[in-house]
Structure 1
Amino acid sequence: MQRRGFMKAAVVGAGSVALTFTLGREALAYPAQSGASPYGGLQAADANGLMLPKGFTSRVVARSGQVVGATKHVWHGAPDGGACFADGSGWIYVSNAELGKGAGGVSAVKFDGAGNITGAYPILSGTTDNCAGGASPWNTWISCEEHNKGLCWETDPWGVKPAVSHEAMGVFNHEAAAFDPDRKVVYLTEDEPDGGFYRYTPNAWGNLSAGKLEVLTTDLNWAAVKPKGQDCRKQVNNMYVFNGGEGAYYRNNICYFTTKGDDKVWAYNAATNQLATVYDNDTTANAPLTGVDNITGDPHVGDLFVAEDGGDMEICVITPNDVIAPFVKIVGQDGSEIAGVAFNPAGTRMYFSSQNGTTGTDGGGITYEVTGPFRRSL
């Protein structure tokens, strides 16, 4: 594909016709190529097993099966998707538990303005395989269940309001949710080899209990689907098929999302109704990113950060200058995956988890914080 080549409506089946279309600086990396990181090369692993750029440090926030800091809350196993929420001068980091048979849920860690842990508590329990999700503009966390009868659960990061499920958002193998406040819709990914990319339009913005669910088609239209009953991905013959939908992140008219089956990062431009390949492991020379999974964005300069499920256990940065490079590498944890990448509101601290840690088991999860000179400008 040509650089910054967008896929428009001339599509047949799962194939596509690439058309050249140049965007301004706000459009990130189409397609990204390997290059030097803006943060420099990775240093030797620190005491926590993290290889980081010069000037960055790490700490362990929580370990599965152990009490968090000076709180009484025991951290969950298999930590997965996560997000941060402002809390006065501090913030809250929420984390899913990708555990089966009703053992899943979500926990939260509260920090003060100096980054000290001041609390930890559960905000959802009794669910199954809570994988990724998304933060709403009204400060709730949507925790998505990754199984064929999975639901989207809306949770309160402060743990005050009870969690509630929203069947109208679809009953399927959910992965992530990304909120588009400009069009007042929610984009949803599906973790299936023949999965869809969905758009949910609530009847009232701020209330997810009722609305319209649609799936993207091969001609880049949106077709209505019934949220339950027949499999959502089997209701529309010309559904655009995505191979293993994973993370999703919205910024300035564009929803970025990943597919693990073909190691791609996509960009759906809702303003122009165009679809682009931001990163393609098959076409990038010396490709550093495999096992494409969780994705988030830097709040200052528009860098994307993409985590690996396996691969080299790295989080890679994709810059607006079309460069992709490793930002952090976890060593000695090859039986794990990286998930839950999120920034605190100031963009000075990054959080993420190694789901299975050094043991390679659900009970070995480790949640990290990385602090350092994150970019403020290009």
Structure 2
Amino acid sequence: MGLSRRRFFTLAGTTAATLVAGDALKGLYARAQGTSLTSYGYGPLVKDPNGLLELPPGFQYRAFSRTGDTLSDGNLVPGGHDGMATFAGPNRTTILVRNHELSPSSSTGVVGNKYDDLCKGGTTTLIVSSDRELIKDYASLAGTYRNCAGGLTPWGSWISCEENTSTPETTPETIERPANSGIFVPNPDKVSKRHGYNFEVPALRKPKNGTVNPVPLVEMGRFNHEAVAIDPRTGIVYETEDSGDSLFYRFIPNQPGNLQAGGVLEALKIKDRFQAITKSNFPVGQPFQVEWVRIEDYDPYEDTVRKEGFAKGAAQFARGEGIYYSNGEFYFCATSGGANSGGQVWRYIPGRNAKEGGTIELFVEPNDKAILDMPDNIVVAPFGDLILCEDGDGDNFLVGVTPKGELYQFARNAFNDSEFAGACFSPDGQTLFVNIQTPGITLAIWGPWNKA
């Protein structure tokens, strides 16, 4: 899976055109705070006669790969559809690698060569034709715990993240159910290995045994991973953590393009603001200089990575979730950030190399859940807007954000109150793929993108 340094940077340069959006988001420091929904966008949402997905006029969708369908490998499609990415396949096909956020006690699971025999999470890979029809699907990673999100690499793979730090010691053999009853039953969430790691899944080739050899990327840290994004210029990996007191990390690999070779884990610190709490009282659009503190104990026995970083002055974010790279910038969601815990979007601009800290700024914070309600996964569209997947109470929307920080509703889950997850565009930019997490449905959306 490893690449030579020269091959990595050659590949990074050629893939940037397909993975990175245009210039619309670069250098925009003055923007609205996103205090109201804008008329920008694609118009009012149209009621869906099928009761599944409401979209603006002119847009269509196709649903496939539902939980319980039969995979091409003969197993059933697992539930918990979550983070996802697209890759260009042969004959104009699109390859999707999709996470399944499942626990040992989940009623469905990914079948294959398991990292932990007691765990049911992992990934499936889907091959979709140019006319958005499912051609083939199969399990590609198995035996992991709550694969929430992740991120694509410039060298053609998906990094799948575990959002759990269970160990055999922290999951006893039996638990008392009901509580204080004196009756002990087998613990349905018992694990046999340590969790809280990232795993790499090649997108462009199917493993001979059906699923990849599940190798944890230990030096990327053991914590409640959410998502990653990679700077194709340097190979540095940026990581989010889903916790109320989470940190924002970067992993500097020893060999860019070969994450198994290890590297250095660091946490972001806002310069001259020791232990900054970013949940509220931060101005929108004001960049702050940052520096990075090294995490020495990247694979701790307990869930203490963020505690070490915070003790060294790192900034806290309110549940870091989706992250995406575009045109030299990173955008990531703090799902419960803001004075009303409705969510924030942050923008980080790295320096030219690992020695330069870069800047971070708050891009959007509406503080109105009617406008934005707990954004989770995020993607930068080919036309420059952000597309956010809501994971709030009640109705959930795909919310667009313009380069000026204006927000608009692009789609509504008309089926149930489950979250949207895994938004990603096809390599040609014509199709938006997204998941409804429960009961697990993947959707392809297309229409007049250039209308806006």
TM bin (shorter chain): 0.7 to 0.9
What amino acid maps onto 1:119 in structure 2? K
Q: Does 1:255 align with 2:258?
A: no
Kept in 1: contact 2:62–2:132 (CA 8 A): no
1:340–1:328 distance in 2 versus 1, CA, 3 Å: same
Cα offset, 1:115, TM superposition: 2.4
Aligned partner of 1:26: which letter? K
In structure 2, what is the equivalent of residue 67 of structure 1?
70
- Report whether the alignment pairs 1:159 with 2:201: no
Among candidates 251, 259, 265, match of residue 208 of structure 1 = 259
Tell me: CA distance 1:78–1:37, structure 2 relative to 1, closer, same or farther (3 Å).
Answer: same
Give the structure 1 partner of residue 306 of structure 2. Answer: 233
Choose the corresponding residue for 1:175, options 226, 238, 241.
226
Amino acid aligned to 2:67: S
In the superposition, the TM-score normalised over structure 1's length comes to 0.86
Q: Name the SS of the counterpart of 2:65 in structure 1.
A: strand
The answer to whether 1:309 aligns with 2:391 is yes
Q: Please list every run of at least 4 consecutive aligned residues from structure 1 whose deviation after the TM superposition is greater than 6 angstroms.
A: none
Counterpart position of 1:192:
243
Contact 1:298 1:305 survives alignment (8 Å): yes
Check conservation: 2:34, 2:366, Cα contact below 8 A: no
Normalised TM-score (structure 2): 0.72
1:329 and 2:412 matched: yes
1:36 counterpart (30, 39, 57):
39
Q: Match of 1:168, SS?
A: helix
1:320 aligned partner: 403
Structure 2 match to 1:147: 164
User: Once structures 1 and 2 are overlaid, which stretch shifts more, 249-258 or 42-51?
Assistant: 42-51
The answer to whether residue 119 in structure 2 is matched with residue 119 in structure 1 is no
Question: Which residue, out of 270, 275, 290, partners 2:360?
Answer: 275
CA contact 1:156–1:163 (8 Å) conserved in 2: no
Q: Which runs of 5+ in 2 are unaligned?
A: 1-22, 105-118, 166-194, 272-289, 338-342, 352-356
CA distance in structure 1 between the aligned counterparts of 2:76 and 2:25, rounded to whole angstroms: 44
**Secondary structure of the residue that 2:254 maps to in structure 1?**
strand
Aligned-residue RMSD, C-alpha: 2.0
Return the alpha-carbon distance in structure 2 between the equivalents of residues 295 and 197 of structure 1: 16
Query: How many Å apart are 1:164 and its aligned residue?
Result: 2.6
More helix per residue: 1 or 2?
A: 2
Matching residue of 1:352: 434
8 A contact 1:30–1:276 mirrored in 2: no
Offset at residue 111 of structure 1 (A): 1.4
Measured in 2, the distance between the counterparts of 1:235 and 1:117 equals 45
Counterparts of residues 94-109 of structure 1 (less than 5 Å): 94-101=97-104, 102-109=119-126
Whole-Å separation in 2 of the counterparts to 1:30 and 1:276: 13
Query: Alignment partner of 2:219: what SS?
Result: helix
**Which residue in 2 is equivalent to 1:93?**
96
Number of aligned pairs? 343
8 Å Cα contact 1:156/1:162 also seen in 2: no
Q: Distance in 2 between matches of 1:315 and 1:25?
A: 19
Residue 73 of structure 1 deviates from its aligned partner by: 4.7
Aligned position for 1:295: 378
